[in-house]
Amino acid sequence: MILRFFRPGLGAALLGARVLFALAVSPAAMAQEANHPVPAGQSAEERAFLAENDTAMTKMMNDMAAKPTGDVDRDFVAMMTPHHQGAIDMAVIELRYGKNEQLRRIAQEIIVDQMQEIQAMKLALGEQVTDTSPAPTQPGPRANPQSSPAMAAHDHMNMSLEMKMQETK
């Protein structure tokens, strides 16, 4: 074994460096694997879905790389907020393109839950929570925005958040 020729301290250090390098490279490699090229035989709708999802994932990953402030709680919220927003963005994309009603309902729940958690984290830090607008589920203007699934999820979220705030008083 090659490590036998090195002093024990150096061999352990080299092994440790390889492990740390592997751990550091793995998330980057996994993120790159998510950005794979789209095969040519896909429909325009599938290509649009994958392109939007790739954009959402890239934005989430970039935004999660928050600069540390020295305040663990603020750093946690700074990293978790884009993580939750990425889930919201991907759920909106499912609502825009998905056909499975069960998955669409789950996507609506994800939107509600993640928006509530973002607001709860901001409230825990004493930050002002702004009123949220519904997430669009169709590209461009809608004929009747009041009928969107995201609008229903938004209304449910506001009602649930109000109930949670009442419980804490």
At 27, list the tokens.
């998330």
In the 8-state DSSP scheme, what is residue 148? -
pLDDT score of 130: 76
Say if residue 102 is exposed, middle or buried (CB neighbours under 10 Å; 0-12, 13-18, 19+).
exposed
Determine the average pLDDT of the residues in 111-130: 93
pLDDT score of 41: 79
Q: Which residue has the tokens 């694997």?
A: 33
Q: Which residues contact 155 (CB under 8 A, 6 or more apart)?
A: none
Q: Please provide the distance, in angstroms rounded to a whole number, between the alpha carbons at the two ends of the chain.
A: 66
> Is this model's pTM higher than 0.75 or not?
no
Instruction: Choose among 128, 135, 126, 58: nearest CA to 93.
Output: 135
For residue range 69-88, what is the model confidence (pLDDT) as tens digits?
999 999 999 999 999 999 99
- pLDDT reading at 158 higher than 90: no
Q: Which residues of 58-97 are buried (b: 16+ CB within 10 A; e: fewer)?
A: eebbeeeeeeeeeeeeeeebbebbbebbbbbbbbbbbbbb
Answer whether 77's CB lies under 8 Å from 69's CB: no
Widest CA span of the chain, in angstroms?
Answer: 74
